[in-house]
Amino acid sequence: MREWIAVFKRGISIDNPLTVLMIGLCATLAVSTKLEGALFMGLAVIFVLGMSSIIVSSIRSLVPEQVRIPVFIVIIASFVTVVDLTMKAFLPDIYTFLGVWIPLIVVNCMILGRAEAFSYHQPVRLAIADGLGMGLGFSIVIVVLAAIRELFGSGEIVFLGARLIALPEWYRPPGVLLLFPGAFLVFGFISALAKWYNTRTSGRVVQTDAHCTIEEGVR
């Protein structure tokens, strides 16, 4: 159980896909202009990452190495299509906002990367921890990024049609925050903050662990 928690926490902190591994950034920067869109993007990624980790890990002994990539892609693409169709049917407004980025989760290197680097080599229970941890790590960062960009870029946060927070009238939102340069700037600060936090809380662990992330769990 301690091992499970360690793997789970790693996805959020020292192996965070966005702030540390820096993978899957392009969708992150693109959809983080609105909190509600970012939240559902995060949920979609948690679902796809969690499910594909479970499946890849549970069939790992049946899949020969030479065809592993096509098999991973089919599995990931199926879960993404499930999300795509479900969102289209039940959350049309959010689907319109996320648009092409939902189908593009298929080619998000984060998900294929975890299948290849972790789930294909690890037992199911650890693969679940990794999938959920990585997905949650992704979601936290994208939601924080979107909240900052929406609040300071448009002066208010609107969630599912309701106004959550609004800044006072005298605040003139700089539009650049909603554009791509703003995404990079805010993301840079978040990443720096995460780095500072990681080195402070588990600095030594980062150094020793980073080299043996995969082998760590095998034993």
Partner 1 sequence: MAKRAASTPLNMIGAVLATCLVAASALTVTYELTRERIIEQERAAERAALDAVLPGTGSIESAGELVAPATEAAGSVTLQGVYRAYDAAGALSGWGVRVAPRGYSGPVSMVVGLDRDGSVLGVSIITMSETPGLGTKIVTQEGWIEQFVGWQGADIDASAREFDAIAGATRSSAAVRNGVTAAGRVYAEVLSAEEGGAQ
For residue 54, give both structure tokens.
């479970």
Q: Near partner 1 by CB under 8 A, which window of 57-65, 108-116, 145-153, 159-167? A: 57-65
Residue 110 CA to residue 155 CA, distance in Å, equals 32
| 85 vs 210 by CB, closer to partner 1 | 85
Count of residues engaged in binding partner 1, rule: CB under 8 A: 31
Residue 3 CA to residue 45 CA, distance in Å, equals 23
Which residues lie across from 159 on neighbouring strands? Answer: 162
Q: Which of residues 12-51 bind partner 1 (CB under 8 A)?
A: 30
Residue 137 CA to residue 192 CA, distance in Å, equals 15
For residue 177, give both structure tokens.
């925050």
- Per-residue x/- mask for partner 1, residues 107 to 136, rule CB under 8 A? --------------x---------------
From 43, 81, 107, 154, residue interacting with partner 1 (rule: CB under 8 A): 81
Shortest distance, CB of residue 121 to partner 1, whole angstroms? 7
Between strands 162-166 and 156-159, the pairing is: antiparallel
Residue 7 CA to residue 20 CA, distance in Å, equals 15
Residues found near partner 1 in the complex (CB under 8 A): 30, 59-67, 70-71, 74-75, 77-78, 81-82, 85-86, 88-90, 92, 96, 99-101, 121, 180, 218
